[in-house]
Amino acid sequence: MIRRLFVANRGEIALRVIRTARAMGMTTILGVSEADRHSLPARSADDVVVIGPAPSAQSYLNIPAVVAAAQSARADAIHPGYGFLSENAAFARAVAEVGMIFVGPELSSLTAMGDKLMARRVGIEAGLPVVPGGEAADKAAARAQAERTGYPLLLKAVSGGGGRGMKRVDAPDQLEAQIDMAMAEAQAAFGDPRVYVERFIARGRHVEVQVLGDGHDAIHLGTRDCSIQRRFQKLVEEAPAPNMPDDKRAAIEAAAVNLARHLGYRGAGTVEFLVDAETFDFYFLEMNARIQVEHPVTEAVTGIDLVEQQLLIAGGGRMALRQGDVAVQGHAIEVRINAEDWRADFRPSPGRVARAVWPAGPGIRIDTHIASGGEVPPYYDSLLGKLIVSAPTRAEAVALLAAALNRLTIEGVDTTRDLHRTIAADARFVAGGVDTRFFEGLAA
């Protein structure tokens, strides 16, 4: 059993993990940077250990410092949240080497899914369809692969995520400049310049499946749709994915479970697919071997606490849940409220939050670490919080989202609230089933 849990993260996900862990009777220790020592998560944990200075490289990304801090706190386990070190195989190895539990998948799964090319090979082994493409180690290889794949295409960082190192190429004369930029971004973000070429599906939807595994069996908790994105970064997520034929939904869920079983996967993971918006043919993209930012919408429609499941599985137990125990009921939508000026190309807006009024009421959930008087440091992701709504039908959920956004007030920093009000009122979003080009039309 896990008795003392070290949370190696910050912001809303740190507070989210602390709350479930304490409800399970665990003592919680939060590792913080100097910039976060007075944050709401720090005030909520049972104990706090300062890892290092404000910059992430000296604190949240500093593996020796994080492990040493957890050891000093006599932790049994480390929960990495999402981002930072959550999918870092070297971190998981370092945690295991000092006798602590890494709340995440086995090292073999992290290694296999952390490299997009390896993940693609494993997906094929598990029988999943993949988008045509291949590795491009240099410009010559990129040109050859592009000729085989055809245009338009995407360049993707092999070790990447979050849209970093990803470039769309519409014609051959754009390839060399874009591959230079993709490789440079990949090197800067991940220390790995490798990219691969993938066919671009013109009307694609981003649909993912939440899975749980205990190393012996795996189940799914339904689909999510994350198609509303800006530069490959998600803005809105909902569960279940709307307007999908039942047979296609069942097929994509089965494919995700097949991959998890093939890996002998332990813990919570998300299998991501590109779905053709016209034919509903789907292609495996990658697996995120961690808790997702958008996990609350799955919790809302299944009633299952995913962090609790992570901690139970990490503690050595077999899953008590079986597929027949999972029922998806109603509809949930999440929007990310970021400290950004979305009208100025999403320029970050750090500073002091003079006033924060988050909506409340039936069907409304707020995951945040920000209250009136809180600070938004300039060093980290700009996520202030997540507004999640749920209702018996999607139409009711959309209406509740619009009403909740109208009641949300944050003063002192710019936010994306009004962007989400615009999205919630857009006829295409109201109808459901939009593709990844949605934001381009909205911006126009």
Measure the CA–CA gap between 128 and 201, rounded to whole angstroms: 17
Cβ contacts of 391 within 8 Å, gap of 6 or more: 330, 331, 363, 397, 399, 400
d(CA 152, CA 436): 15
Count CB atoms within 10 A of the CB of residue 411: 12
CA dihedral 283, 286, 290, 291 (to 10 degrees): -40
346: left (phi over 0), alpha (psi -120 to 50) or beta: left
Is residue 164 annotated as part of the catalytic site, yes or no? Answer: no
Distance of alpha carbon 308 from alpha carbon 21, whole angstroms? 7
**Pairing of the two strands 218-230 and 195-199:** unpaired
Task: Tell me the C-alpha distance between 13 and 41, whole Å.
Answer: 9
Active-site position among 205, 230, 249, 290: 290
Q: Is 137 left (phi over 0), alpha (psi -120 to 50) or beta?
A: alpha
CA 371 to chain CA mean position, Å: 23
Strand runs labelled E in 91-216: 101-102, 133-136, 153-157, 167-169, 195-199, 204-214
What pairs with residue 106 in β-bridges? none
Q: How, if at all, do strands 340-341 and 375-376 pair?
A: unpaired
Report whether 308 contacts 24 (CB < 8 A): yes
Tell me the catalytic residues.
290
